[in-house]
A and B are shown apart, each in its own frame.
Chain A
């Protein structure tokens, strides 16, 4: 602990110079504090940095420097100052409190860091001539209400480059509000003021026509020049004509420029709508085709299934009939004609091998008896001139065995057709006998009958 004495109480060294150094450091700290209070933050940084150059252990100066950096959004530099401060004097140091607050507000801390990153990124974009991307990053930082003066300065510069002077001015003013002592901001504002002032001077120096004279400024002299007198007509007619011409010109401009553009726009919209509808229509047509195909496939499937079902039903019916007939036959009391007729209606090819064997066995056992019975009955009907019954009975016999009697059955069937007036069928049957039993007596008789039948017509 130092006392007011000019020497150190421990080692006895002269501490006059040391005291002087500490005093200078404190003076700079006080100056930094004053500057910070009036928001001259750049000036405060300068003073506090000087203070620390004289005495690095000036904790107040270092903590305040961290605070000023923090106020400028430079959180990395703020943290580094507070860390050094806490290391120099670990006890009762405000820096520890600042860091703890930062730790507790993770979102705020991260937001500040993101703003720094956006600025750094925009700087990279600008260096690679990607102004648009840089503006995007800077605007994001501005919308987050960043306190980084550099963001506003850089955005203002870009605005100025893009001739957006009002926006640039706003940026520089915002930067100035954050840090009033920033030399760069002051330079930009001064440059803009100087430019505006020159522009105003140029405007003023342009000749101003007032009444009968034109006045303009040249250096410090104001030159007033009389204007040549012009004829002024005080009547209202020229004014009305001018207004009418103006209206006509305006109408012509609208008609020739605005209307065609509007018509073109409407046409383009209509074309666009037509194309859109056409696309929709094509899409719907394709959907309809697809659905029709699906429907067709489904219908085919249904038909196939129906056909398969019908076939199955027919096969089942065939078996049922076959089994019924077999049952009747084995019972002993059966009608051979009924069994034979039923067998004739059964599709043999649809049966299994065992079914076909049973079918053949039944047919062999009953068909000859049934045909004989039917033939006899049919012949009797023919003799009795009951041709319709004869045709019906003999057709049943033909269905069972058309070779019965070596043509006799067919011969009586043909004659029954003839008797019933069915000449065409009679001729066909006679022709069948002639071709099947050629060279036999029955064929000769059939030929005679056919000749006679053809001759009568």
Chain B
């Protein structure tokens, strides 16, 4: 059976429109292409 108190703990507040600036600022935007570029850069440096 569903445990109300346990389930309640899983709910989190939803960001409001006033929080948009904070969301954008704190967004982790590193992607695989960034990682790949970094790796290429490092391997280039090692070769040199």
Binding site for B on A (CB under 8 A): 13, 17-18, 21-22, 24-25, 52-57, 74-77, 79-80, 83-84, 109, 113, 116-117, 119-120, 123, 126-127, 148, 150, 153-154, 157-158, 160-161, 184, 188, 191, 195
For the complex with contacts A74-B14, A76-B17, A191-B1, 4 further pairs of A-B residues with Cβ separation under 8 Å are: A21-B36, A56-B30, A83-B20, A84-B29
| Inter-chain contact B32/A76, CB cutoff 8 Å | no
Chain B residues 1 to 48 lying within 8 A of chain A, measured CB to CB, are 1-2, 4, 7-8, 10-11, 13-20, 23-24, 27, 29-34, 36, 40
List of B residues within 8 angstroms of A75 by Cβ: 17
Cβ-defined contact, A56 with B17, below 8 A: no
From A57, A79, A195, B20 is in contact (CB under 8 Å) with A79
Asked whether A160 lies within 8 Å of B14 as measured between CB atoms, the reply is: no
Q: Are A195 and B36 in contact (CB under 8 A)?
A: no
Q: Which of A84, A154, A191 contacts B27 (CB 8 A)?
A: A84
Give the distance to chain A from B25, nearest Cβ to Cβ, in Å: 9
Knowing A80-B20, A84-B24 touch, does A123 contact B15 (C-beta < 8 A)?
no
Is B11 in contact with A161, judged by CB distance below 8 angstroms? no
Interface CB pairs A-B, < 8 A, 14: A52-B31, A54-B32, A55-B32, A74-B15, A76-B16, A76-B20, A79-B17, A80-B15, A80-B24, A84-B24, A116-B16, A119-B14, A120-B16, A191-B2
A residues less than 8 Å from B10 (CB atoms): 184
Say yes or no: A126-B23 contact (C-beta < 8 A), given A120-B13, A191-B2. no
In the complex, which residues of chain B have a beta carbon less than 8 angstroms from the beta carbon of A154? 11
Known contacts A75-B17, A76-B20, A119-B14; A160 and B4 CB within 8 A of each other:
yes
Number of A-B contacts (CB under 8 A): 87
Contacts of B23 in A (CB 8 A): 76-77, 80
Decide: A83 and B16 in contact? CB cutoff 8 A: no
Which B residues lie within 8 Å of A148 (CB)? 14
Q: Which of B17, B19, B24, B31 has the most CB of A within 10 A?
A: B17
Residues of B within 8 A of A24 (CB): 32
Q: Are B8 and A127 in contact (CB under 8 A)?
A: yes
B42 CB, min distance to chain A CBs, angstroms? 14
Chain B residues with Cβ under 8 A from A117's Cβ? 16
> B2: nearest residue on chain A (CB-CB)?
A191
Q: Do the beta carbons of A76 and B15 come within 8 Å of each other?
A: yes
Cα separation A84 to B13 with both chains bound (whole Å): 22
Q: A52-B31, A157-B2, A188-B2 are in contact. Are A18 and B16 (CB under 8 A)?
A: no
State A415–B11 Cα separation when bound (angstroms): 126
- Compute how far the CA of A41 lies from the CA of B8 in the bound complex, rounded to whole angstroms: 22
Q: Which residues of B have CB within 8 Å of A150?
A: 11, 14
**Complex contacts, B18 vs chain A, CB 8 Å:** 76
**Bound state CA distance, A80 and B16, in angstroms?**
11
A13 CB contacts on chain B under 8 angstroms: 40
Please judge, given known A-B contacts A76-B20, A77-B15, A188-B2, whether A53 and B27 are in contact too, CB under 8 Å: no
Establish whether residues B36 and A17, one from each chain, have CB atoms under 8 Å apart when the complex forms: yes
For A160, what are the chain B residues with a Cβ–Cβ distance below 8 Å? Answer: 2, 4
Q: A residues within 8 A CB of B31?
A: 52-57
Contacts of A56 in B (CB 8 A): 29-31, 33-34
List chain B residues, Cβ under 8 A from A84: 24, 27, 29
Closest chain A CB from B48 CB (angstroms): 15
* Minimum distance in angstroms from A50 CB to a CB of chain B: 10
Decide if B1 touches A113 in the complex (CB within 8 Å). Answer: no
